[in-house]
Amino acid sequence: MISPLKWIAGVIAGCAFVSLVHAQDAGADNRKEDDAFLLLREAVRKDETQKAEFYAARLPNYSIPSYVDYYRLKSHWRDATTYEIREFLKRYEGSAIADRLRNDWLLELGRKKDWPNFDDQLPLFVLNDDTQVKCYALQSKALKGLKVADDARALLTAPNGYGEACAGLIATLYQAGQFSDEDVWAQVRLSGEFNATGQARRAIMLLGGVDKKITQAVDLPLVAIAKGPGTGRVEHETFLVAVGRAAKTSMKLAVLALEKAAPRLSAQEQAIGWAAIALQSSYTLAPETSAYWRKSEGAPLSIDQHQWKTRIALRDGDWKQVKKNIAAMPEALRSDPAWIYWRARALMAESAVPGQPAHATPEAAQLLRSISDQASFYGLLAQEELGRLISIPPPGAPLAPAEVAAIAERPGFQRALKFFGMRLRFEGTREWNWELRSLDERGHLAAAEFARQNHILDRMVNTSDRTRVQVDYTQRYPSPHDDIMHPATQTLGLDKAWVYGIIRQESRFIMDAQSHAGASGLMQVMPSTARWVAKKIGVTDFVQDAITDVKTNIMLGTNYMNMVLGNMDGSQVLATAAYNAGPGRLRSWRATLDKPMESAVFIESIPYFETRVYVKNVMSNATYYAALFEGRPQSLKARLGTVGPKGYTEQERNEASFGGK
């Protein structure tokens, strides 16, 4: 006879077994549904309507029904009725995916020139972050007789992203008399600068030009410049586009062509040609660049041309020219923190006494104060110019568990977690950021803590970065895997703050992060680099799949950083640039130096936009990490120091004096 206790224990064990089986079955079902959802998403991306409908039909009770309905609707978007679209928007109003669909619909309404419905829906588009929608919106206003030329000029700065919407806006404004010939010619030149052949053709046809000739000027510039400038403005402008394009591949031929054509060009046309050449020369940091910019005086400049003319003046130490160039920038560009900082520095240099440190004049101090509260590269430099080092502010009141629990209950964050778990980072980030819109600073800190608890450190950093008054620097600058990192950096003698500064910028602590180029893991190590480093340090059993292992990734990444740092004479600035752009490119940029240069100037004049931003962020990160690790104020300016040609000693660099400093 079985005792009662044994019988009860058996029943409990049986129930537990049944529960486990049910849980396993539910997990398997969820995985099947997730797989079907991923296949649905892929079918819509490939425009496979029948497959999309097949997979959607398998998801009648999916945990995120709004996305199933979105992809089902998108699978037959060309045939979707207004009723279907409005019903979706009504059903999911206020959600991120509804705003996404409204974005899609606005693009379709603009394409169809259905302005009544477009104007009805536009005020409901919450994010309003689509350039093409903005172009359609301005086009709709222009067709009603409203003046939008100034707004259009501010928007139309990158022709490679115009598409049909922005091309149509240019045509509408030109035909309505809101854009002059000069506006359209500026777009022709800008299209040449951006290698946007299609947009160059559209613009020049508005002016009565021949699209074949502008196509040749953009795509086969050496052939075009060999023919000379021809006669008339259309021929001249087309020739000038070709000169700028030719300078990308042969500066010598572009210069010779412009000099030969000079007698047949007006003074302004010559200046435009020299500005096009100077821009391409700026990208190579060639010694002749300053002379080219001087010859461009009087030319109307693009956004990039304004900035590079100023960067070259910075490299020359010509503070008077820096001040003049910044004053000539459009207001929106002049208000960028970078140019606010350098304008202040130019004012300080102007009033400096030779042989003495420069001090902020009242006007310079006002400019510096306007950006000194920003936790960014130029904000930190401005803070130091005002005499304050970088320190970590005391944390506010600790978060209560209930505050984080309230975040966990919000459907948008639940959807985000679901998507992150499926490695759909785009969708997860969209849902996450959508929820952040309705939170105050305290809510942002709670959301960042929720992200930390769920090991989504990139969202933690991004979310915490948005606060201005209530701040938590342990969220903004986390240091995970320190049990591995600390001994690795200590053994190599590496600055741990700098290494974490690199990781924060490279991967935002996403362990399985992978770039388009194939770089992997926390430190975004390329497979070829990993094999090379492994061989150098004597790892004989290395396999490529090990790159995403935390310990292996840190071991390879820190050793590579140490090697690069050694090759760059111990300069963190140069090594950081090399880590991003490659040692070869960095060596060519460094070879343009003939004497030590203030590192902030060198960084601002790095030819690659991505690398320029990267180095600024890494060096700012490292300064904050050092303040956290050491518990004392830090100097970004001291960390940057100066850079010099190969062979200059640290003492020689430190003894260099720049900008009256």
What residues are labeled active site?
Answer: 506
Q: Is 601 helix (H, G, I), strand (E, B) or coil?
A: helix
Task: Return the HEC string of 65-80.
Answer: HHHHHHHHHHHCHHHC
DSSP-derived letter for residue 634 is: B
d(CA 445, CA 91): 31
**Nearest Cα residue to 323 out of 332, 334, 331:** 334
Residue type, 137: A
Cβ atoms of 450 and 404 within 8 Å: the answer is yes
Going from the C-alpha of 66 to that of each of 57, 99, 218, 479, the distances in angstroms are 14, 12, 45, 37
Q: Helix axis angle, 232-249 relative to 211-219, nearest 10°?
A: 20
Can you tell me whether residue 604 is helix, strand or coil? Answer: helix
- Positive or negative: CA dihedral 573, 577, 582, 587: negative
Q: Would you state the torsion angle of the CA atoms of residues 424, 429, 435, 441, taken in this order, to the nearest 10 degrees? A: 150
Q: What angle do CA 422, 428, 429 make, to 5 degrees?
A: 145
Under 8 Å between Cβ of 557 and 522: yes
Using an 8 Å Cβ cutoff, are 118 and 106 in contact? Answer: yes
Tokens read off for 136: 């359609």
Closest by Cα among 624, 656, 661, 657 to 379? 624
Whether the CB-CB separation of 110 and 165 falls below 8 Å is answered with yes
Q: Report how far residue 120's alpha carbon sits from residue 41's, in angstroms, rounded to the nearest whole number.
A: 29
CA dihedral 600, 602, 604, 607 (to 10 degrees): -160
Q: Give the CA angle between residues 130, 466, 126 to the nearest 5°.
A: 30
DSSP assignment string, 517-546: T--BTTTTB-HHHHHHHHHHTT--S--GGG
Token pair, residue 32, equals 């099947």
Residue with tokens 């620097």: 473
* Cα separation, 297 vs 307, whole angstroms: 14
